[in-house]
Structure 1
Amino acid sequence: MVDRVILYRAPTTVADVDAIGDWLEARIDSEVSIRERFLDVHRTDELAERFAEARVASPYERSTGNTMLGTIRYEERALETPEREGGVLYDGIQIQRALNSAVPGDERGLETLHVPILDRAIGTWGDHDGRWHKRVSALGQPALVSVPGLYEAPAKPEAYYREKQRHALLSGDAPPREVLENQVDGEFLVEDDPRTTDALKGYVLQAVHYLETGEAFCDREACRLYNAHYHEELIDAQLRDPQFCPSHARAYE
């Protein structure tokens, strides 16, 4: 039984963790509290090296980690000044273990669920296709929810990638958001999207649901507990009514 859920802010993102906490508290029996950034509240001397060990070197190589002094120094700077971090993918399972070790022993039991909202991109290795896949979340203790993953993990419409490549060939950089939105049919979330907070609510609830029931996801697309693989599915599940399938509506509406 989860008695308490602790959410951690991600101040470098547009995610309003207080609003997520209010939404969650209205739907579960557990106490919900908000803390500042996890990597500040539970900072340890080992975290920079643990992040360096979890860095994904190549999309197609299973091994991770670069613990050269320069990389560890980069991770130390990223912990101190998170605005400077970006463009790195981390093994979500290794990061989960590292953050679990950083939680004080008296808060590590499963009756207290920690949910850091992270400004880092996390992934898991796919044995079926031999490559890394970005993820929005890693369920467990703590349950990681990645804001960059919300934008990057689900597949966007094919036209999005074609337009992005075309713009890069012409100008040498990524197209502005308004260009993509005007040129590409289909709905998708982009960095700093104003819908970020609403979309993250279901992923935080998934973390609580998993610890309470052992059920990872719902298999119905029209439910906030659905694990979306495409942006169109994510928008249907998280931003449109109904919020839940009939089964989970009984529990959470």
Structure 2
Amino acid sequence: MVEQVTLYRAPTAAADADAIADWVAGRVDAEVDVRDRFLSQYADDDLPEELADGRVLDPYDRETGNTMLGIVRYEERAIENPERAGGVIYDGLELQRLLHRRLPDAARSLDHLHVVLLDRVVGTWGDHDGRWHKRVNVLGHPAIVSVPGLYEAPAKPEQYYKEQQKHALLTGDSPPREVLENEVEGDFLVEDDPRTTDALKGYVLQAYHYLETGEAFCDEASCRLHNPHRQPGVVEAQLRAPDFCPRHAERYR
């Protein structure tokens, strides 16, 4: 049984860890606390090279890693200055392993769930189609919740990408959120979306639910424990009533 949940902040991301923790604490029978950024607390001399070794280099190549000196130096700078990180996908399972190794021995028990809010994009390899897939979260111990993954992993409406390309050709820049919302039908989240914190609450609860019950996700599209592959599904599951399907509403009030 999970007795304690520790949530780690992602200071460069539009995610309020304290608000997420308060929401989760009202629904689980565990103590919930918030700590500062995981990589700031537990980084060591080996971490930059291990991060470089976990980089996805090609969306269709299972092999990862580039430990050339310049890449390792980039990872060193990104640990020190997280606002400089970006544009890289990491093997989520490998990242989970290297974060687990850095947990203090006393904190590794399965009754203490660690959830790392991360300002980096993570992915998992799909054996069924031979390519990497971006993910919002990687369940396990510790669990990873990727804030940029919330915007990038679930697919947006096709028209979104067309409007984005059109705007980029004309201006050389990404269009403002308001422009895309006006031009594209359907609801979706974009970088630094003000709904980020609310949307991530369910993904953090999924980490607790998995460690507590062994159940990964809920099949009901209207439940916060659902894991949709498209942005409109994220909006339905995380931002619209009801919060839970009847089965999980009974458990999580």
Q: TM-score range by the shorter chain?
A: over 0.9
CA distance in 1, matches of 2:27, 2:46: 36
* Partner residue in 2 for 1:213: 213
Q: What displacement does 1:169 show?
A: 2.5
| SS at 2:206 equivalent | helix
* Partner residue in 2 for 1:10: 10
* Partner residue in 2 for 1:146: 146
Q: What displacement does 1:173 show?
A: 2.8
CA distance in 2, matches of 1:248, 1:187: 25
- Alpha-carbon deviations, 1:182-224, whole Å to 9, x = none? 1111100000000000000000000000000000000000100
Residue range with higher mean Cα deviation, 36-45 or 18-27? 36-45
CA distance in 1, matches of 2:45, 2:108: 19
* Partner residue in 1 for 2:98: 98
* Pairing of 1:1-253 with structure 2 (within 5 A): 1-253=1-253
CA distance in 1, matches of 2:178, 2:222: 28
CA distance in 1, matches of 2:21, 2:82: 23
CA distance in 1, matches of 2:72, 2:139: 26
Identity between Structure 1 and Structure 2 (%) = 66
The AA in structure 1 aligned to 2:244 is F
- TM-score where L is the length of structure 2: 0.98
CA distance in 1, matches of 2:184, 2:226: 25
The AA in structure 2 aligned to 1:112 is H
Which stretches of structure 1, 4 residues or longer, exceed 4 Å deviation after superposition? none
Q: What displacement does 1:107 show?
A: 0.4
Where structure 2 has 5 or more consecutive residues not aligned to the other structure, the ranges are none
Q: What displacement does 1:64 show?
A: 0.4
Residue range with higher mean Cα deviation, 121-130 or 199-208? 121-130
CA distance in 1, matches of 2:168, 2:125: 28
| SS at 2:122 equivalent | strand
| SS at 1:169 equivalent | helix
| SS at 2:22 equivalent | helix
CA distance in 2, matches of 1:41, 1:56: 25
Q: What displacement does 1:168 show?
A: 2.2
Q: What displacement does 1:44 show?
A: 1.9
CA distance in 2, matches of 1:178, 1:88: 26
CA distance in 1, matches of 2:105, 2:49: 21
The AA in structure 2 aligned to 1:74 is Y
| SS at 2:57 equivalent | coil
- Alpha-carbon deviations, 1:82-110, whole Å to 9, x = none? 00001000000010001000101110111
The AA in structure 2 aligned to 1:202 is G
CA distance in 2, matches of 1:212, 1:59: 33
| SS at 1:56 equivalent | coil
CA distance in 2, matches of 1:170, 1:64: 35
CA distance in 2, matches of 1:41, 1:111: 21
| SS at 1:116 equivalent | strand
CA distance in 1, matches of 2:200, 2:54: 24
Where structure 1 has 5 or more consecutive residues not aligned to the other structure, the ranges are none
Count of matched residue pairs: 253
Q: What displacement does 1:144 show?
A: 0.1
Q: What displacement does 1:170 show?
A: 2.5
CA distance in 1, matches of 2:106, 2:46: 20
CA distance in 2, matches of 1:222, 1:177: 25
